[in-house]
A = this chain, B = another copy of it.
Amino acid sequence: MHYPAGINKAQKKDINYGNRGMTLENDLNETNNYYLIHDIAVIYKKPTPITINKVDYKSRNDAVIREARFKIPSTTDYNGIYKGRYVDFEAKETRSKTSFPLSNIHEHQITHLKKVFLHGGIAFIIVRFICFNETYYLNVTDLLFFLDNNSRKSIPYSFFKEKGHLILDKYNPRVDYIAVIDKLFF
């Protein structure tokens, strides 16, 4: 199944259980579930935004959407609360070994992260370099610094190594980004 640019593949997990735990999204879902169960944080992935055109309504509990389209998301995919603070981030993976293509993130998502930061929230992106099996936390301030000082259409891997924070690959929670938040903010 293919999706247009910028559309996340949340729905895949409902079909493709074989991939469970293999994608960043699945890892983050399990991580957020771990945080929730252990009462550490309340952070959820937002549903994929769509515009519904046709619904077959058979009964109160059986409605089938027959025509809908993906919408460009206005915000990021993940948000929630940790130790009273508002947390907001976007997560992407790339197969590139050299850089993270900025086409993966919509401009208004970056604007959104900036607004969250200005309102006192904890805003960042999580980027996984699949080839290295490395997942980085990059604070919005570092992301904005890069964008303000570069005309490049991608962020070099070296920038993540320098300014980002490597998220340790663990068994549980799989992508422990709260450990980075703890280090940076608490």
A181 close to B (CB within 8 Å): no
A46 at the binding interface (Cβ < 8 Å): yes
| Given known A-B contacts A11-B51, A83-B120, A5 and B57 have beta carbons under 8 A apart | no
Checking B47, B49, B79, B83 against A79 with a beta-carbon cut-off of 8 angstroms, the contacting residue is B79
- B residues near A60, Cβ cutoff 8 Å: 4-5
A2 to B56 alpha-carbon distance, docked (Å): 9
State the interface size on chain A (CB cutoff 8 A): 54
B3/A63 in contact, CB under 8 A: yes
Q: Could you say which of B15, B62, B67, B74 contacts A66, with CB atoms under 8 Å apart?
A: B67
State the number of copies, please.
2
Does A18 sit at the interface, judged by CB under 8 A?
no
Query: What is A's interface to B at a CB cutoff of 8 Å?
Result: 1-5, 7, 11, 14-15, 36, 39, 41-42, 44, 46-53, 55, 57, 60-71, 74-75, 79-86, 88, 112, 115-116, 118-121
Q: List 25 A-B contacts (CB under 8 A).
A: A1-B55, A2-B63, A4-B60, A5-B61, A11-B68, A39-B118, A42-B112, A42-B116, A46-B46, A47-B48, A47-B71, A50-B50, A64-B67, A64-B68, A65-B65, A65-B70, A79-B79, A80-B86, A81-B86, A81-B120, A81-B121, A84-B86, A84-B120, A85-B120, A86-B86
